[in-house]
Amino acid sequence: MSNFINNLAYEASAGSGKTFMLVVRYLSLLFKGAEASKILALTFTNKAASEMSERIVETLEELENRGELAEIAKVTGFSKEYLLEHRTQILKEFLSANTKIMTIDSFFTHILRKFSLYASLMPDFTTASAQHEHKLMSRFLSEVSVANKRNVLIDLSLESKKRVSDIFTLLNQFYEKKEELSNFSYTKSFDKSYEAKALEALENIQKIVAGCKGASATLQKAVNVDGFEALISTTWVYQETLEYWVFKKCYIPEMDSNLQVIQEAIQEYFHQREQNFFYALNELVELYKKSKKALYIDDSELSFSDVTLLVYEILHRLDDSEFLYFRLDSTITHMLLDEFQDTSIIQYEILKPLINEITSGTGVSEEGSFFFVGDVKQSIYRFRGGVSALFGEVAKQNATQVDKLRTNYRSQKEVVEFVNNTFIKKIKNYTPQLVRDEAVGGYVSIKTNDEVLEEVLEQVQNLLALGADRDEIAILCATNGDGEAVKNLLDGNGIDVVTETTTKLINQRSVKAVLEYLKYLYFGEELYRHNFFTLISRELEPIERVDFNRVNLLDVIKNVIDRYELFENDFHLLRFMSAVQNYQDIEALLFEYERLDVSAAASDISGVRVLTIHKSKGLEYEHVIVMDRLKKAPPSRDSIIYKYDGINLQSIYLRISGRDKIDLDYAEALAREKALIEEDSLNALYVAFTRARENLFIVKKTKDSLFDLLELQDGSFGELHCEVKEKKKQVQYGEFHYKDLYYGTQAEILALEEEKEEDLANINFGLATHYTLEMMDSFDEVAIEGALDMCANKFGFALEEGEFSELERRVNALVQNREFLDLVDGVHYKEKGIKYKNNLRYIDLLVKKEDSWVIIDYKTGEQFEDEYKKQVKGYMRAVSEITNEKVEGYLCYLLGNGIKLKKV
């Protein structure tokens, strides 16, 4: 019997199988006959989106052995046999469908492209996580100047005691919350009548004191203030009553009534300051918006928040928005949302009509369904406009059944219990998780050590010594800076580290190959064809060019993948394909892909993972080390306090010190803000601890610790145990010889490395020499001629007169050098890229002799010999590790006075 519930949500703890159920849901829909192109699955990060596609494929491929099988059977009511029988068909359909598994940001970008003309934009705009800040700043400043609002900006700066760049942050907040703030209005006022009221009351108090015999000198001094400014900087005006301290002896009730008058006046003063501030900010937001718009129209580049706001405007403001939604809706019948707790209110507002349409079942989609999962305890993006109350609200608004998942499927007993015991006292309504039967082990250690980095290193070394798989060790830290510090330390101790950059999608081989292929189709340059076949380890063959005006980019990519059978087990390509959908055309892709901020499938990248807690969401590792922050956290001092009632923005306040003592509303908002910040930190720790499957290590400091909130005691639970798995096979680098003319070549890498130290002429000469040598197929005079032609084409403009013939002379000398020719007698691999320590390095010339290897590194000057030697030694180590054979390295100097070979 089918158990399919149309509107369903899971509000469940970490590791309880929310993502698992999302995949089950997606597949159940497919098995029930839904078209993949009509299922919209939205995630928060690109990583999550691509992982979801991967999991769908993997699950189908291995369905008979997967836990999902039983769940899908339960949900759909189909027998396991039926499901197994149909999975190949489903997989085929899924792979060929135009699937809609993506981030919320890319979904909104799609919408905006579709309706871009409503926003006076061309549809080929590009997106980035943020607009170019400097450009925006200077544009804004000139707008401010033109609008004659410089004083407004200066006043704001003075008022908030902030720099203009900080005012920028506030402007951006106001800009992003524009919709929520649209019902707020601010009044500008310079009426200072409150001052007179306060000073009159002060005078009354002064009189009382003057008439009081027992008035001490301290008291007389305390009330002896001159003017309003001085009055508000005393401490006594903020007391509840004056029946205290030095006032006590002279206290009469009249004192307090005057105190109250003073406090009301101060409140009025604060209020006026706040209103004037918001008024000014609001005025500038208009200019800010204008500058942003000008910039995105000029550059055709939008930030994700621009996209979101524009989509909101288009869908909600235009008269024909119903029609717009209709057009969207007709292509979406089912909606699945991951990590719902991090959805912002405006994001939900955009999705809302679509969800309504789907769930009401009266629109285009009779059989629609809505599903979302999340965990309010893992909400850590409050600062980005995520309000955790949204979860319940949305369930209510859409008549969604909210179920729980009680069992933890991720972690071992000790970890689950430690997390339960730690957070039950700290997080409201915490429901302890159940341990699954077979999870009887696990280990948790809490250790205080002020040398945080050393402690972390030791823990990693210990784990590795016990046989832990380095890919299964993750170090979670508070900030990117801390991550950098750990990475450097581990690197320095010979431990491979994987961070965000090493895992970029465009740095993966299969993706590179496809890009080379596309470049060949577009530029027609032979080298790209050559590179492509080299990268996919095949013999060179002809490639038919295509006319990009007539074919769809994605089809071209699918075609190359099919034709050369590139897909097999390569999830990078799957990710790449979904990323490509964001590019308007081939030009946009080829000229912009370097900025593509998508990470690769983790499977074939190796090393200890170092990442921030925020980035660790949704991930899991066998061993997790959560380290304390290395520096003290800066106090949170947001100038504006936003107070929400549920999901509705109720009021906003300007932070003014002392204000909480006399303004109850403000005090409440401030207290709530503080509680929310604390909740965020607590949630972040919850996320961090729940990433561990087997072993969890907490490294904390004695002071200013990230873990202070939890009051952890040093100690350990359970027994440390590392399952030693068979070591993964070394990745084969054998055929990776890969030339590239226009980017990322050895020549350019050298340029980056040496830029600082040599003058330009030397650099160019060196690059041209390298390039010539790279272009030579063999070491003879015929090859020199061809290579020099190519060099003249590429570097002719950059070389000085005479340099070219000097280059020719040196290269000729090289091919006549007996010692060199003997050394290079063997099979040549030029421009050999080797992936070592997660860096791609290029060896000028690698020679395979009978049972050994020779590395040759060309140089045109001797001034940095020590550096050069280090570099070659690095290559030698890499090659010897990969091949397990004898390796020799040589620096080969092509100098003005002859060839010099130096063994390293």
Ligand X SMILES: Nc1ncnc2c1ncn2[C@@H]1O[C@H](COP(=O)(O)OP(=O)(O)OP(=O)(O)O)[C@@H](O)[C@H]1O
Q: Is 18 annotated as a binding residue?
A: yes
The residue (of 67 and 211) whose beta carbon lies closer to ligand X is 67
The residue (of 17 and 718) whose beta carbon lies closer to ligand X is 17
Segment interacting with ligand X (CB under 6 A) among 15-23, 172-180, 364-372, 872-880: 15-23
Q: Are 600 and 503 in contact (CB under 8 A)?
A: yes
Segment interacting with ligand X (CB under 6 A) among 10-18, 161-169, 310-318, 749-757: 10-18
> Residue 368 CB, nearest distance to ligand X (Å)?
24
Backbone angles phi, psi at 445, to 5 degrees: -130, 135
Residue with tokens 């409050």: 382
Secondary structure letter of residue 725 according to DSSP: P
> Residue 601 CB, nearest distance to ligand X (Å)?
16
Q: Is 683 in the site for ligand X (CB under 6 A)?
A: no
Site string for ligand X, 365-384 (x = CB under 6 A): ----------x--x------
User: C-alpha angle 286/287/290, rounded to 5°?
Assistant: 90
| CB-based contacts of 720-726 (< 8 A; 24+ apart in sequence) | 720/443, 720/445, 720/466, 720/695, 721/441, 721/443, 721/694, 721/695, 722/463, 722/466, 722/467, 722/468, 722/622, 722/623, 722/694, 722/695, 723/622, 723/694, 724/466, 724/467, 724/468, 725/469
Q: Is 385 in the site for ligand X (CB under 6 A)?
A: no
The residue (of 17 and 483) whose beta carbon lies closer to ligand X is 17
Q: Is 14 annotated as a binding residue?
A: yes
> Residue 51 CB, nearest distance to ligand X (Å)?
10
Using CB under 6 A as the binding criterion, the count of chain residues that bind ligand X stands at: 16
Q: Is 19 in the site for ligand X (CB under 6 A)?
A: yes
The residue (of 435 and 891) whose beta carbon lies closer to ligand X is 435
Q: Is 13 annotated as a binding residue?
A: yes
Alpha carbon of 145 to those of 138, 148, 188, 555, 845: distances in Å? Answer: 11, 5, 21, 50, 58
User: Which of 8, 9, 11, 18 lies at the binding interface for ligand X (CB under 6 A)?
Assistant: 18
**564 token code pair:** 């050369």
Residue with tokens 């890498």: 749
> Residue 68 CB, nearest distance to ligand X (Å)?
8
The residue (of 513 and 692) whose beta carbon lies closer to ligand X is 692
Segment interacting with ligand X (CB under 6 A) among 18-26, 227-235, 455-463, 881-889: 18-26
User: Which of 15, 385, 442, 718 lies at the binding interface for ligand X (CB under 6 A)?
Assistant: 15
Site string for ligand X, 71-100 (x = CB under 6 A): x-----------------------------
The residue (of 20 and 528) whose beta carbon lies closer to ligand X is 20
Contacts of 43 (CB under 8 A, 6+ apart): 49, 52, 101, 102, 103, 104, 338, 339
Q: Are 46 and 599 in contact (CB under 8 A)?
A: yes
The residue (of 160 and 681) whose beta carbon lies closer to ligand X is 681
Start-to-end C-alpha separation, the chain: 73
Among the listed residues 272, 284, 61, 287, the one whose alpha carbon sits nearest the alpha carbon of residue 157: 284
Q: Are 344 and 644 in contact (CB under 8 A)?
A: no
Segment interacting with ligand X (CB under 6 A) among 13-21, 141-149, 438-446, 840-848: 13-21
Q: Is 14 in the site for ligand X (CB under 6 A)?
A: yes
Segment interacting with ligand X (CB under 6 A) among 17-25, 119-127, 252-260, 437-445: 17-25
H or E stretch covering 309: helix 304-317
Q: Is 159 in the site for ligand X (CB under 6 A)?
A: no
**376 token code pair:** 């309010």
User: Which of 618, 766, 833, 889 lies at the binding interface for ligand X (CB under 6 A)?
Assistant: 618
The residue (of 12 and 170) whose beta carbon lies closer to ligand X is 12
> Residue 54 CB, nearest distance to ligand X (Å)?
13
> Residue 101 CB, nearest distance to ligand X (Å)?
16
User: Which of 8, 9, 11, 20 lies at the binding interface for ligand X (CB under 6 A)?
Assistant: 20
> Residue 41 CB, nearest distance to ligand X (Å)?
14
> Residue 438 CB, nearest distance to ligand X (Å)?
11
Q: Are 556 and 521 in contact (CB under 8 A)?
A: yes
Q: Which residue is nearest to ligand X (CB)?
A: 17
Q: Is 690 in the site for ligand X (CB under 6 A)?
A: yes
Q: Are 64 and 84 in contact (CB under 8 A)?
A: yes
The residue (of 13 and 534) whose beta carbon lies closer to ligand X is 13
Give 3-state DSSP helix, strand, coil % of the chain, rounded to 5. Answer: 55, 15, 30
The amino acid occupying position 873 is: K
Alpha carbon of 646 to those of 378, 391, 498, 643, 745: distances in Å? Answer: 18, 10, 40, 9, 55
The residue (of 51 and 176) whose beta carbon lies closer to ligand X is 51
**121 token code pair:** 């934009």
Q: Is 684 helix (H, G, I), strand (E, B) or coil?
A: helix
The residue (of 19 and 291) whose beta carbon lies closer to ligand X is 19
The residue (of 368 and 386) whose beta carbon lies closer to ligand X is 386
Q: Is 410 in the site for ligand X (CB under 6 A)?
A: yes
User: Which of 17, 363, 718, 833 lies at the binding interface for ligand X (CB under 6 A)?
Assistant: 17
Segment interacting with ligand X (CB under 6 A) among 9-17, 578-586, 741-749, 864-872: 9-17
Segment interacting with ligand X (CB under 6 A) among 11-19, 286-294, 351-359, 846-854: 11-19
* β-bridge partners, 895: 898
> Residue 616 CB, nearest distance to ligand X (Å)?
9
Segment interacting with ligand X (CB under 6 A) among 14-22, 357-365, 574-582, 808-816: 14-22
Segment interacting with ligand X (CB under 6 A) among 12-20, 98-106, 579-587, 865-873: 12-20
Segment interacting with ligand X (CB under 6 A) among 7-15, 33-41, 234-242, 497-505: 7-15
H or E stretch covering 408: strand 407-408
Would strands 715-718 and 443-448 be described as parallel, antiparallel, or unpaired?
Answer: antiparallel
Cα–Cα distance, 75 to 29 (Å, whole number): 9
Q: Is 182 helix (H, G, I), strand (E, B) or coil?
A: coil
Cα–Cα distance, 427 to 635 (Å, whole number): 22
The residue (of 16 and 365) whose beta carbon lies closer to ligand X is 16
Q: Is 207 annotated as a binding residue?
A: no
The residue (of 14 and 854) whose beta carbon lies closer to ligand X is 14
The amino acid occupying position 169 is: T
How many other β-carbons are positioned within 10 Å of the β-carbon of residue 861? 15
Q: Is 772 in the site for ligand X (CB under 6 A)?
A: no
Cα–Cα distance, 534 to 82 (Å, whole number): 43
User: Which of 4, 238, 251, 409 lies at the binding interface for ligand X (CB under 6 A)?
Assistant: 409
> Residue 691 CB, nearest distance to ligand X (Å)?
7
> Residue 378 CB, nearest distance to ligand X (Å)?
6
Rg (CA), the chain: 33
What's the distance, CA 838 to chain centroid? Answer: 20
The amino acid occupying position 883 is: T
Q: Is 606 in the site for ligand X (CB under 6 A)?
A: no
> Residue 17 CB, nearest distance to ligand X (Å)?
3
Q: Are 716 and 811 in contact (CB under 8 A)?
A: no
Cα–Cα distance, 689 to 416 (Å, whole number): 9
> Residue 629 CB, nearest distance to ligand X (Å)?
22
User: Which of 16, 422, 503, 616 lies at the binding interface for ligand X (CB under 6 A)?
Assistant: 16
Cα–Cα distance, 691 to 851 (Å, whole number): 46
Task: Tell me which residues touch ligand X (CB under 6 A).
Answer: 12, 14-20, 67, 71, 375, 378, 409-410, 618, 690
What residues are designated binding site?
A: 12-19
What residues are designated binding site for ATP?
A: 12-19
